[in-house]
Amino acid sequence: MIGLPDLKTPLLWVLGLGLVAALATAGIERTRAAVARADLASEKRDRAEEVSARNRVALADALRYSEKMAVHAAAQQGLTHALAQETAARLAAERSNGQLAAGLRDAFAAFAARDREEAPAHAAGPRDRGDRPGAVDGLFGEAGELLARSADLQEEARSIVARRDSEVKALKAQVEADRALCAP
């Protein structure tokens, strides 16, 4: 008898080959998925490093800016203190000058009043004429002191103007520093 060929054996071979092919395909896909996961993890790590680097740069910039702000605030405070001291000194000098001028005005007014009272007596007798030039000389001496003080005050005013000029220059420099601080 001629037998029919055994179909089980080739079918088993085909099924075995199909199973091997499926396992090989699954292995290849698993390998691709593992490579893709590794690439994704590497990409995530690279992004995290970039974000970390950006954050470090931002923190360094913030620290530099805060140091600049501290230096700027200290300079502003020093400038304000210096201006306040100079203003107080100028006001004290102005008050002193006002008091000196008021004193001289009072002295001249007193002399004029005394002169008006003594004028008839001076006209009556020659003995008091010696006192009048002494009083006039005293007033002229006070006037000379006033002129000397006036010259000193002019020199002080020049000094104040020079200081103000230097302060204006310093303020301009401060404005430039402020602009540089605020520049992007």
Q: What is the pLDDT along the chain (184 residues), one digit of tens a residue?
A: 565 556 678 888 888 899 999 999 999 999 999 999 999 999 999 999 999 999 999 999 999 888 888 888 887 887 778 777 877 887 787 778 777 777 777 777 677 677 666 666 555 555 555 556 666 667 777 777 777 777 778 877 877 886 787 778 778 877 877 777 787 6
Structural tokens at position 53: 């680097």
Structural tokens at position 120: 């008839």
Question: What's the one-letter identity of residue 34?
Answer: A
Q: Single out the residue of 90, 91, 87 nearest to residue 79, CA to CA.
A: 87
In the DSSP assignment, the letter for residue 7 is: S
Nearest-5° angle of CA 7, CA 19, CA 9? 15
Query: Which helix (H) or strand (E) element contains residue 76?
Result: helix 8-124
Q: Single out the residue of 135, 143, 141, 128 nearest to residue 111, CA to CA.
A: 135
Question: What's the one-letter identity of residue 25?
Answer: T
